[in-house]
Chains A and B, each alone.
Chain A
């Protein structure tokens, strides 16, 4: 055996490896989506970027919602972590990372690539909200509304989509009389049932009070509409949600919805693809929860560049590619009805559901976000607990409001 040759070979390959390590890696952390179209869109992003940037290896890591939150938080305290990470843009989630110094200021990149002119105005809402400079580039802007099963509505004799809250309650009653559970939710993932609470709060409290409550500026125990909202939550949970729901998760709940076990679901515009892949789109329709305030229940999701990234310029290019007209055009409809890119529009040959969504977005005057994005982590955990207690019938509405305020007051 010629050891000389082997040694030379080893050294050469070591050089190759070192050389290959020079080829850059870009890590992106995001969610694992239920719909194949969404997963495919992420894979397309990876492929496209690698194509246009030879020598770059993009690794898109997909995790479940709660896992992603934990992983990112853990990475934040260490030197490991992604270059780009996905986060919901509100205070309690994305905002917290900005405040902790994990999000890189993107002002230069915004100027360089002109993202501000490219993306839709509502999606920019949180970019400058939390820290100096600009943080995050819009990735998705979504809305949540009521999907319903047309056949089941017909069966219960509901002929029109409810336009007011009272009409919605009346519709639920009709469904119940027909032996159909009105809603289905998955209790184990906390944030699913929370959605119902959020829209109920908006309904009973109106815009300003709702914002004051979620901003923890108003007192939950002395603001009557808070207890009212809990009261409504209790009513819905006791009478109108497909039981048992506390022990199942949102995916199982979707399964049940698609197999006609319940009439409605409070879900986001991303659900259209899920329905498409699991059932027949024509059987379903959507309308906004009649809160009476004209605000869209929705939120923005951003891609942030980590301050620990060693390749910020490369990361910025990835962000640029993602929101670019070409790419958004390529994946349009995968993530939702609305692209963050202003100039990408769904054509007319799209499902009816998407057309409705377009209208919903167009008609909305302002947004209110999900509770778990408004509150900091510990308050969110307690909020979940209280909501679940009320929903299981173990806590009275006023006690719930009191407990919420007690927890908030005790925070130092």
Chain B
């Protein structure tokens, strides 16, 4: 049931023009605003007295439906530790002839990229948005073409039109330098452009330009059968393959009205923790690369390799692709593999403890991490930062507890110890990551103990129910990822949207970098360890 206090407060703030309904899930509610102009007042009620944060923003083109409009859903979630599993959606109908709505960005900084994205992909203008620059489409994209509108044929390449150089946001003055870096970097990493403005070594401002790896995957999935589209969702990001595959599956299973069997839920969560573990262990090692501590880098890489070889034994793929499928899991975990897994985890724990001991005992590494790249608690809250980065700045949020999924959603959910730290610096992020890796090892052992014989999947009968909406939030290695899926009348994918944790965290990297010097940027960046591919999609 919709919270009566909240709906009353929203009615009061908007002059009564609010229709409240339960959904997408039975525990959620959706408030349909009478006018787009009511949006700022309604959002202020949620983010102010109710202390909610923006979880995702989903625009849809419904011009071909009886509604004949564009819709934007601003989805909010509670931010207090242990709050109930809840999403509150503010639904705004936008007139396609005048596609405008008031921007929330000045009041809700986390809305910044979401609103720029809807302007690029849907042509919906957030009036009053402080940044007029395109985000997702880059130089030479034709004016007035919006790729996520239904009328746009996404299967064709468009000509590149002549364009001015992108207007980077830089500071100017005597002794102020601009340092352009990327999109092609010196190492084996994903592409992004970083424009530093510096005075000497001190970073004054960092303007990060991403979306180089924008592949149009959300458009790619539209019109597909949901069981086919799964393979795209699983491949949005390499190191989040399990998390994104699972998020898509849970959203789809909501629409289909099925629940994966208990054994499948346990195996899914084991996979999710294995994904977290190999990432976290490798990421601790990679931070050492930023501090020129090569023993640490090699040790992290060796431990990660052992885990990925284990992944290949379990799932047939080093990124655990092919384990999770809609309805359950594709492969069982027999006892011989579980024994091998237990041995791998024992060695990983010993290796990780040894590595952390060497990092903490090594002043040349520790001094580089300590007080470097500080993200304040307030900034983390304002930007709705997720995952390790949020918890290292004292934000006690973890989707495994706050939006239970996989085995955490069961009747006897395993206990989860959420790790937080207060300092918000690179050192805090490394420590939180190491503690979470240990917690994942403990959890996997606990989950394995709970495995009982049983079916691995339930069948999802196609066609799936039409015009259903599913929403799920998964704690990926990088933090909470929010999936939103809707089927059309024929049960095909009408719209899918992923808000990855990195999407909210990238602006925080730029902020944290401004407390550092240029040579520490790789360290700051690696301590956040974000994906470009699931930000850009």
Q: Do A and B bind each other?
A: no
Interface residues of B (CB under 8 A from A): none
Interface residues of A (CB under 8 A from B): none
